[in-house]
Chains A and B, each alone.
Chain A
Amino acid sequence: NAGVTQTPKFRILKIGQSMTLQCTQDMNHNYMYWYRQDPGMGLKLIYYSVGAGITDKGEVPNGYNVSRSTTEDFPLRLELAAPSQTSVYFCASTLGGSREQYFGPGTRLTVT
């Protein structure tokens, strides 16, 4: 099992550009999450999904969108990149009923 995979590992965007961060898990987990990590701030939940076709906002959803068309994939979309979205983004998954979240290796995004 590859676990949770994220692409790309690094990306530099210009202000106003858009991009999609990819997340895939092969553990048949029904719950998936997107976090951003900023220095000294911990991990903040952006969006989450409890199953295909079901998504909901987390603590910091502004400027982001998600979709969940399959159990395996949970892409995160940035439509108009802003410098405030410079961060490290982590995708995580878990099986409903378990509280242990499995994290991907992260995507480091810089918006200039």
Chain B
Amino acid sequence: QQQVKQSPQSLIVQKGGISIINCAYENTAFDYFPWYQQFPGKGPALLIAIRPDVSEKKEGRFTISFNKSAKQFSLHIMDSQPGDSATYFCAASSPGNTGKLIFGQGTTLQVKP
């Protein structure tokens, strides 16, 4: 069973703080690692993604750190804002022509004003 394990399940951060969500994977064939953001009542939407040939990718306040040897990757949200309050999912995908994603269990982030 290919798995992606995500932690923590929930996270409360003060406005302006750093939110960190972690994921670990088993399948070394995975070559694409996205993070999706989901607001209540909406479908998930791609936030940021990384491939294993780089160790870090930054887009605005969002950064993915990738550790290939440890088979772990994490999402860092700098200067967290109340508008970042959402559920975050990590995912992983293998090469091939199906585009299938294996999702982590999700992390509910609450940013307190």
Q: Which of A33, A44, A100 is most buried by chain B, counting CB atoms within 10 A of its CB?
A: A100
- Total A-B pairs, Cβ < 8 A: 62
CB distance from A47 to the nearest CB of B (A): 11
Looking at A13-21, A65-73, A75-83, A101-109, the stretch in contact with chain B turns out to be: A101-109
**Residues of chain A contacted by B100 (CB below 8 angstroms):** 33, 45, 48, 58
**CB closest residue in chain A, given B10:** A40
Classify the secondary structure of B's interface with A: loop
Q: Roughly how many angstroms separate A19 CA and B97 CA in the complex, as a whole number?
A: 30
> Considering residues B44, B46, B89, B93, which has the most beta carbons from chain A within 10 angstroms of its beta carbon?
B44
Q: Is the pair A103, B44 in contact by a Cβ cutoff of 8 Å? A: yes
A45 to B43, CA, bound (A): 14
Q: Within the complex, what minimum Cβ distance (angstroms) separates B28 from chain A?
A: 18
Given contacts A31-B99, A33-B100, A101-B101, contact A42 B45 (CB under 8 A): no
Chain B positions within 8 Å of A, measured between CB atoms, are 6, 9, 32, 34, 41-46, 49, 89, 93, 97-101, 103-106
29 contacts between A and B (CB under 8 A): A4-B43, A31-B98, A33-B99, A42-B6, A42-B89, A42-B106, A43-B89, A43-B101, A43-B103, A45-B100, A45-B101, A48-B98, A48-B100, A50-B97, A50-B98, A50-B99, A56-B98, A90-B44, A99-B99, A99-B101, A100-B34, A100-B46, A100-B49, A101-B46, A101-B99, A101-B101, A102-B45, A103-B44, A106-B42
A residues apposed to B, CB below 8 Å: 4, 31, 33, 35, 40-45, 48, 50, 56, 58, 90, 92, 94, 96, 98-106
